[in-house]
């Protein structure tokens, strides 16, 4: 317990130091209980492939004051993330922690900045222009903004392949309209 408290304090202090140097902070939103401790410091957040289906992560995302991306499922399913984007963009009422640290009913306005993160699948990649065009074909004029995670399935879990993935994304950017990339 004391170690966790110290870790939270050190993390917040580090975030504040980095922000003071002019560096924006991004993070994966893993633990819903820690979100409110850092949400005033983050500029961008991601919901991972295994938590994009989580209702509490969708509800919390609808409350966050910054842009939030939802990763496609580990099986490659993009529909999971698209459903999460739709849910997070709407208002919710849900149980959470109030400003005083006690349980409370939270009211969210919906997050208009929710977007899709393509991370590939256990069986292969999905960053190619042909894959992006299939996703965009499901929409008329309302396709979500798109970020590509160059790791995971998109690099076949080989960190040395991430530069190759990035080069292709950059080369096709004028057609794919990718707004950002993630590198590990």
Q: What is the pLDDT of residues 79-121, one digit of tens each?
A: 999 999 999 999 999 998 888 888 999 999 999 999 999 999 9
Mean pLDDT of 117-142: 91
Residue 157 has pLDDT above 90, yes or no: yes
Residue 140 has pLDDT above 80, yes or no: no
Q: How many residues does the chain have?
A: 184
- Bridge partners (DSSP) listed for residue 94: 106
pLDDT tens per residue, range 29-86 = 999 888 888 989 999 999 999 999 999 999 999 999 999 999 999 999 999 999 999 9
Contact 29, 57 (CB under 8 A): yes
Give the pLDDT score at 101.
Answer: 81
Q: Which residues of 74-100 are buried (b: 16+ CB within 10 A; e: fewer)?
A: bebebebbbebbebbbeebebebbeee
Per-residue confidence at 4, pLDDT binned at 50, 70, 90? confident
Residue in 184, 121, 118, 176 with CA at minimum distance from that of residue 151 = 184
Here the tokens at position 1 are: 């317990």
d(CA 126, CA 23) in angstroms, rounded, equals 30
With 0-12 / 13-18 / 19 or more C-beta atoms within 10 angstroms meaning exposed / middle / buried, residue 24 is: exposed
Give the pLDDT score at 141.
Answer: 75
């Amino acid at each position: 317990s004391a170690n966790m408290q110290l870790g939270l304090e050190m993390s917040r202090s580090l975030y504040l130091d980095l922000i003071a140097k002019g560096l924006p902070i991004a993070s994966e939103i893993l633990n819903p209980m820690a979100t409110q401790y850092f949400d005033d410091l983050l500029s961008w957040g991601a919901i991972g492939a295994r938590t994009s289906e989580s209702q509490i992560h969708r509800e919390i995302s609808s409350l966050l004051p910054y842009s939030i991306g939802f990763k496609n499922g580990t099986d490659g399913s993009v529909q999971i993330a698209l459903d999460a984007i739709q849910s997070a963009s709407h208002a919710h009422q849900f149980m959470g922690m109030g400003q005083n640290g006690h349980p409370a009913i939270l009211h969210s306005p919906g997050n208009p900045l929710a977007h899709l993160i393509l991370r590939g699948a256990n069986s292969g990649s999905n960053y190619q222009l042909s894959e992006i065009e299939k996703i965009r074909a499901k929409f008329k004029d309302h396709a979500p903004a798109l970020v590509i995670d160059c790791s995971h399935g998109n690099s076949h879990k080989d960190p040395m392949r991430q530069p190759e993935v990035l080069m292709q994304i950059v080369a096709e950017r004028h057609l794919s309209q990718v707004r950002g990339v993630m590198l590990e």
